[in-house]
Amino acid sequence: MSGSSTAHRVRRTQAQMADGRELFYFDDTEPYVSGGASRVVPDTRDLPTVQHGSIMRFDVLTGEWVTIAAHRMDRTFLPPAEHCPLDPTRPGREPTEVPASDYDVVVFENRFPSFAQDIAVDVAPEVDGNPLWPQRPAVGRCEVVLFTSDHNSSFSALPVERVRTVIEAWADRTAELSAMPGIDEVFPFENRGKEIGVTLEHPHGQIYAYPFVTPRTAQLLARSAEHRQRTGRDLMGDVLDSERKAGTRIVLEGRHFTAFVPAAARWPVEAHLVPHRAVPDFAALADAERDELAVLYRDLLQRFSGYFGELPPYIAGWHQAPVHTGRDLTRLHLRLFSLRRAPGKLKYLAGSESGAGAWINDAAPERIAQRLREVGTT
Catalytically annotated residues: 204
Q: Helix crossing, 287-308 with 365-375: angle to 10°?
A: 100
351 Cβ neighbours under 8 A, 6+ residues apart: none
Q: Whole-angstrom Cα distance, residue 297 to residue 159? A: 12
Phi, psi for residue 83 in degrees, rounded to 5: -120, 25
Provide the β-strand partners of residue 307. none
Q: Which of 10, 34, 13, 2 is nearest to 294 (CA)?
A: 10
Looking at the DSSP assignment, which residues form a beta bridge with residue 190? 316
**Burial of 8 from C-beta contacts in 10 A (0-12 / 13-18 / 19+):** middle
* Spatial contact of 32 and 105, defined as CB atoms under 8 Å apart: no
Dihedral pair phi/psi, residue 104, rounded to 5°: -95, -70
Q: Answer whether 272's CB lies under 8 Å from 252's CB.
A: no
Dist. CA 26–CA 20, nearest whole Å: 19
Give, for 364, the enclosing helix (H) or strand (E).
none
CA–CA gap between residue 1 and residue 46 (Å, rounded): 31
